[in-house]
Amino acid sequence: MRTARIERKTHETDIFVEVNLDGTGQFDVSTGIGFLDHMVEQFSRHSLIDLTCRINGDLHVDQHHTTEDCALAIGQAIVQALGDKGGIVRYGHAYSPMDETLSRVAVDISGRPFLVWKAAFSQPRLGEMDTELFEHWFHSIAQTAGLTLHIELLYGANNHHICESIYKGFARAMRSAVEIDPRKQGAIPSTKGVLGG
């Protein structure tokens, strides 16, 4: 089983993350930010990556450190669970409709972190969460998981639908990308023989 655990304690957050890339989408998420919990749970359920994510953060300051460290730790756990990435599909993409909203997400587990973000929100908060932090969450997970990640809102009006569409699209793209392709027989999916750099 491709699993990993990350535990980290700083002056800003105390975090525990565990992933199983070959899971069934079971989750145990508690970040202290209700809407972030909802989105991370969507990621787990639709990627089929089992995920535990528990954070005690300095929410008396603001939500930035908790949101950032959530994504950083999940990304670290994913890349650790992937190992040398031998045999993975590597690429994934998804069109993700939710009512009036449609998002497109494409990912390459390239080892070269890069985020293209073409989405915007028309309100500053969803629940108690600052909407500006969603782009930062995806930037942070791309950095530590080594993802080339393109996220584009094609159209949409409802801010909740926009955010959920993006997270579900990311989940489905990652589900495809982390899958083991038996035809590759464990080979690294790059002509260089290594991913990254």
pLDDT value, residue 187: 84
Whole-Å CA distances, 77 to 7, 82, 98, 122, 146: 10, 9, 29, 33, 11
Q: Phi and psi dihedrals of 86, rounded to 5?
A: -60, 130
What are the boundaries of each domain within the chain? 3-184
Question: Locate tokens 């491709």: which residue?
Answer: 2
Rounded to whole angstroms, the maximal C-alpha distance in the chain is: 51
In 3-state terms the chain splits into helix, strand, coil percentages (rounded to 5) of 35, 30, 35
Per-residue pLDDT of 46-72, as tens digits, reads 999 999 999 999 999 999 999 999 999
pLDDT (0 to 100) of residue 1: 82
Beta carbons of 34 and 12 less than 8 angstroms apart: no
Contact 122, 130 (CB under 8 A): no
pLDDT in tens, 74-124: 999 999 999 999 999 999 999 999 999 999 999 999 999 999 999 999 999
Is CATH 3.30.420.130 the right assignment for the domain spanning 3-184?
Answer: no
